[in-house]
């Protein structure tokens, strides 16, 4: 069974530390895929994103997604780290790391995890613009469709 | 039964959580949403587009036709935008 | 057009430095995907891999693959770094970084690049075992098939 | 015309590169491979499984039926195993 690590944190995420944690002293990993989701500045309009989450459920749901990926692909390690609270442009919102002997398992499991995080993890983004406006980010139809495709057998 | 609200559902209702005791006729999530909307304008505005309301029962995603029998915590929120 | 960076080097590769190079001071990147290909120890049997390459052609071919990816997906940055010479277990053989506004472009372009590197980049791996044996690594049929699928329209 | 060899093709032929002047009848990569195999056992062993031999003409991948007219550097090597 894969090593699964999940964390919902309010501090900045460190990709280097997470890769190091997964790969240090290991001779059995051939492929590591990382996905880093960053806060964009929207052409300078955005001052910050505020990430609300559902404590308790968020951890459970993210862990469930990690375990689903580990059950579906031959991966030795999976880490999912997600910020909550205020995030500034250029900072990391979400970090996914998957490791495997084989590259396709590492790629596909990371993409699966991102598609399910978007549609299943109880987080909500609110935009704070430099001009002082505040608005909830709307969910994207494209994210539902991205998740849907994993329900087909492949 | 504890109700918890998130994002614009929370803002429109005007609180993050409350404890309610719905009548026996409220058996499903859909029943609960209908009953809540009778409790005031803020609920009606928050839950009016019921297709946009997502639900979790004791931390598990659920559909609107799910039974709420025995559930301790019902969460109501908009479609998620994490990741 | 995307920023393209390609390097064929004999020194250890640094994933952190490359991510930093791509993302520092940028507010327009929403997604970064990295692929790290590591030298496995084959249950302790492997002492080192020796990577032979075709100087001149290797740089050209890797650059061509990066540019193909940049032409096919909406990516703002693509880096491909590849080792040559002796590589020890746990060290990085290849590092691919793609950045985009959108996650699917970043994922797919990175996977495309890896599939084409395997079949088109003029590198050859030789195994040196701890017991002193030496053998060329055979190409995999699976790699040809992985490359083939990108020829279908999608 | 410069020939360069890599991996086990290089090891079996016993050198990394050489300059050759094939006869006019040698027009394609396949012709070149056939002519090289007449030059000695080491060539015959290296290039015998011709289906396993990959070719680049002036740094571009090419098929065995490609013309070598005007080419300055021909590279012969096994299937690649990089990445």
pLDDT tens digits along D28-61? 999 999 999 999 999 999 999 888 999 999 999 9
Confidence of residue C11 (pLDDT cuts 50, 70, 90): very high
pLDDT at A25 over 90: no
pLDDT at C1 over 80: no
Confidence of residue A153 (pLDDT cuts 50, 70, 90): low
- A46: part of which helix (H) or strand (E)? strand A46-53
Length of chain B: 83
The Cα B66–Cα B32 span in angstroms is 11
pLDDT tens digits along C56-105? 999 999 999 999 999 999 999 999 999 999 999 999 999 999 999 999 99
The distance of D78 to chain C (nearest Cα, Å) reads 8
pLDDT score of B49: 87
Average the pLDDT over C22-37 and give the result: 93
Determine, for residues B8 and A61 on separate chains, whether the beta-carbon distance falls below 8 Å.
no
- Three-class DSSP category at B54: strand
- Three-class DSSP category at C130: coil
Question: Residue A125, CB half-sphere, CA atoms under 13 Å: how many?
Answer: 24
Phi, psi values for residue D8, rounded to 5°: -70, -20
The distance of A39 to chain B (nearest Cα, Å) reads 10
The residue among A26, A2, A115, A3 whose CA lies nearest residue C36 is A26
pLDDT tens digits along A89-108? 999 999 999 999 999 999 99
Using an 8 Å Cβ cutoff, are C52 and D6 in contact?
A: yes
Determine, for residues C33 and A37 on separate chains, whether the beta-carbon distance falls below 8 Å.
no
Cα B80 to chain center, whole Å?
Answer: 15
pLDDT score of A24: 86
A71: exposed, middle or buried (C-beta count within 10 Å: 0-12, 13-18, 19+)? Answer: exposed
Bridge partners of D55, per DSSP, are D62, D76
Instruction: Report yes or no on whether pTM surpasses 0.90.
Output: yes
Q: Which of A28, A31, A37 sits opposite C30 (nearest CB)?
A: A37
The distance of B20 to chain A (nearest Cα, Å) reads 20
CATH top-level class for D2-77?
Answer: alpha beta
Average the pLDDT over A70-99 and give the result: 97
pLDDT at C154 over 60: no
- Name every residue in B having a CB less than 8 A away from some CB of A: 4, 6-8, 56, 59, 61, 75, 77-83
Using an 8 Å Cβ cutoff, are A93 and A37 in contact?
A: yes
The Cα C13–Cα C111 span in angstroms is 19
Q: Which of B4, B59, B82 sits opposite A82 (nearest CB)?
A: B82
- For C:104-123, CB contacts with A below 8 A are 104, 106-107, 110-111, 114
* A17 touches B: beta carbon within 8 Å: no
What is the token pair recorded at C34? Answer: 């990295």
Task: Give, in order, the Cα–Cα distances in Å from A85 to each of A7, A48, A51, A82.
Answer: 14, 10, 5, 10
The residue among D22, D72, C114, D74 whose CA lies nearest residue D63 is D74
* A82 touches B: beta carbon within 8 Å: yes
> Which ipTM value was assigned to this complex?
0.93
Bridge partners of D5, per DSSP, are D76
pLDDT score of C66: 98
pLDDT at C153 over 60: no
């Amino acid at each position: 069974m894969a090593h699964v690590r999940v964390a919902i944190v309010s501090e900045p995420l460190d990709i280097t530390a997470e890769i190091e944690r997964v790969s240090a002293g290991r001779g059995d990993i051939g492929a590591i895929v990382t996905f880093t989701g960053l806060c964009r500045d929207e052409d300078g309009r955005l001052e910050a994103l505020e990430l609300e989450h559902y404590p308790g459920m968020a951890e459970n749901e993210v862990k469930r997604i990690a375990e689903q990926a580990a059950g579906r692909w031959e991966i030795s390690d999976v880490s999912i780290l997600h910020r909550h609270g205020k995030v500034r442009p250029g900072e990391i919102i979400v970090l996914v790391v998957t490791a495997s002997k084989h590259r396709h398992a590492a790629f596909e499991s990371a993409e699966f995890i991102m598609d399910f995080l978007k549609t299943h993890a109880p987080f909500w983004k609110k935009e704070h613009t430099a001009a002082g406006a505040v608005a909830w980010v709307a969910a994207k139809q494209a994210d539902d469709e991205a998740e849907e495709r994993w329900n087909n057998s492949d | 039964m504890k109700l918890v609200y998130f994002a614009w559902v929370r803002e429109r209702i005007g609180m993050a959580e409350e404890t309610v005791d719905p009548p026996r006729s409220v058996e499903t999530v859909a029943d609960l949403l209908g009953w809540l909307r009778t409790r005031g304008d803020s609920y009606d505005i928050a839950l009016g587009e019921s297709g946009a309301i997502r639900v979790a029962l004791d931390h598990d995603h659920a559909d609107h036709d799910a039974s709420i029998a025995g559930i301790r915590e019902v969460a109501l929120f908009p479609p998620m935008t994490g990741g």
